[in-house]
């Protein structure tokens, strides 16, 4: 395998791993909350967990699927924040899981030329690699918001790494 392909696979594998980790953490959060908390907002200028998950699905679809696969951009971003019900916890997790799986497939199937090609997304100029990085960090960012809101609602440690010794030093 040539070095370019190795680098491409390493980048995509790590992005997929990070996306799966975010999904795992969001699932842990939702498992601890009753349905009634999913659409609750901490204040008028914040978003509910339900809104954040719909927003993540829209963003991942726009940057990670439509853009990389050269599909029509059909995202309605404002709607992601205006919804106040209509999805259960299970439906939201399934929607996010399906979206992440579809994006990971798009990443793996993209030829190197597509990952290097610059394109406009939301008015920003990114390569396919830039889109992958954006999707990964954006998902992580909102995962942190969901975790914080869950901790505020439940006043508990979420145990994301309860079976891992995080004090092990680098080798």
pLDDT tens, residue order, the chain (171 aa): 698 889 999 999 999 999 999 999 999 999 999 999 999 998 989 999 999 999 999 999 999 999 999 999 999 999 999 999 999 999 999 999 999 999 999 999 999 999 999 999 999 999 999 999 999 999 999 999 999 999 999 999 999 999 999 999 999
CA distances from 55 to 40, 64, 128 (A): 15, 13, 20
DSSP tag of 32: T
Per-residue burial over 39-78, b if 16 or more Cβ lie within 10 Å, else e, is: beeeeeeebbbbbbbbbbbbbbbbbbbbbbeeeeeebeee
Q: Burial of 31 by CB count in 10 Å (0-12 exposed, 13-18 middle, 19+ buried)? A: exposed
Quickly tell me which residue has 């050269």 as its tokens.
Answer: 70
Q: Give the helix/strand (H/E) hosting 118.
A: strand 118-121
Pick from 60, 58, 61, 49: nearest CA to 85:
49
The predicted-structure confidence for 126-154, as pLDDT tens digits, reads as follows 999 999 999 999 999 999 999 999 999 99
| The two structure tokens encoding residue 161 | 């790494």
Q: Percent of the chain, pLDDT > 70? A: 99
138's tokens: 């954006």
pTM of the model: 0.95
Superfamily for the 3-154 domain: dinb family like domain (1.20.120.450)
**DSSP 8-state symbol, 72:** -
Q: Are 14 and 133 in contact (CB under 8 A)?
A: no
């Amino acid at each position: 395998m040539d070095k370019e392909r190795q680098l491409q696979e390493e980048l995509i594998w790590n992005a997929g791993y990070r996306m799966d980790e975010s999904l795992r953490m969001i699932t842990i959060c939702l498992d601890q909350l009753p349905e009634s908390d999913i659409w609750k907002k901490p204040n008028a200028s914040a978003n509910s967990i339900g809104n954040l998950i719909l927003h993540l699905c829209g963003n991942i679809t726009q940057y990670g699927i439509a853009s990389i696969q050269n599909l029509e951009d059909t995202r309605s971003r404002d709607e992601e924040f205006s919804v106040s019900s209509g999805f259960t916890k299970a439906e939201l997790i399934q929607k996010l899981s399906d979206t992440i799986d579809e994006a990971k497939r798009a990443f793996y199937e993209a030829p190197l030329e597509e990952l290097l090609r610059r394109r406009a997304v939301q008015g920003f100029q990114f390569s396919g690699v830039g889109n992958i990085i954006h999707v990964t960090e954006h998902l992580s960012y909102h995962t942190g918001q969901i975790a914080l809101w869950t901790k505020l609602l439940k006043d508990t440690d979420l145990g994301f790494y309860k079976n891992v010794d995080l004090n092990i030093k680098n080798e």
